[in-house]
Structure 1
Amino acid sequence: MAILKQFGILFVLGSVGIVMFTVTSIPLIEQQLAKLSPETIEKVPPLWILMLLQGLQYSVLLAISILIGIGCAYRVGLRSHLVDHWVFHTTKSLSFAVEMKWSLGVGAAAALVLLLLDRLMQPALPEALRAANNTERSWLNLLTAMFYGGITEEILMRWGLMSLLVWIAWKGLKQGVTLPSQGIYQGAIVLAALVFGLLHLPATAAIVPLTPVVIIRAILLNGIAGIAFGWLFWQYSLEAAMLSHVSFHAFSFALSLLLARSA
Structure 2
Amino acid sequence: MAVLKQFAILFVLGSVGIVMYTIASIPLAEQQLAKLSPEMLEKVPPLWILMLLQGLQYSVLLAISILLGIGCAYRVGLRSHLIDHWVFHTAKSLPFAVEIKWSLGVGAAAAIVLLLLDQLMQPVLPEALRAANNTQPSWLNLLTAMFYGGITEEILMRWGLMSLLVWIGWKGLKQGVTLPSQGIYQGAIVLAALVFGLLHLPATAAIVPLTPAVIIRALLLNGIGGIAFGWLFWQYSLEAAMLAHISVHAFTSVLSSLLARFA
Structure-1-length-normalised TM-score: 0.99
Q: CA deviation at 1:91?
A: 1.7
> What secondary structure, in the 3-state scheme, does the structure 1 residue paired with 2:135 have?
coil
Q: CA deviation at 1:139?
A: 1.1
Alignment of 1:57-206 (within 5 A): 57-206=57-206
Give the Cα–Cα distance (whole angstroms) in 1 for the partners of residues 33 and 5 of structure 2.
40
> What secondary structure, in the 3-state scheme, does the structure 1 residue paired with 2:88 have?
coil
Tell me which residue corresponds to 1:236.
236
Tell me which residue corresponds to 2:261.
261
Residue type at the aligned position of 2:24: T
Structure-2-length-normalised TM-score: 0.99
Deviation digits for residues 154-182 of structure 1 (CA, Å, limit 9, x no counterpart): 00000000000000010000000000000
Residue type at the aligned position of 2:135: T
Give the Cα–Cα distance (whole angstroms) in 1 for the partners of residues 24 and 81 of structure 2.
30
Residue type at the aligned position of 1:215: I
Deviation digits for residues 209-241 of structure 1 (CA, Å, limit 9, x no counterpart): 000000000000000000000000000000000
Give the Cα–Cα distance (whole angstroms) in 1 for the partners of residues 136 and 152 of structure 2.
24
- Percent of paired sites with the same residue: 89
Deviation digits for residues 12-60 of structure 1 (CA, Å, limit 9, x no counterpart): 0000000000000000000011111111100000000000000000000
Q: CA deviation at 1:138?
A: 1.0
RMSD over aligned CA atoms reads 0.6
How many residues of Structure 1 are paired with residues of Structure 2 in the alignment? Answer: 263
Deviation digits for residues 57-76 of structure 1 (CA, Å, limit 9, x no counterpart): 00000000000000000000
Tell me which residue corresponds to 2:54.
54
> What secondary structure, in the 3-state scheme, does the structure 2 residue paired with 1:207 have?
coil
Unaligned runs of 5+ in 2: none
- Whether 1:24 aligns to 2:24 is yes
Unaligned runs of 5+ in 1: none
Residue type at the aligned position of 1:117: L
- Whether 1:225 aligns to 2:229 is no
Q: CA deviation at 1:94?
A: 3.0
> What secondary structure, in the 3-state scheme, does the structure 2 residue paired with 1:87 have?
helix
Residue type at the aligned position of 1:66: I
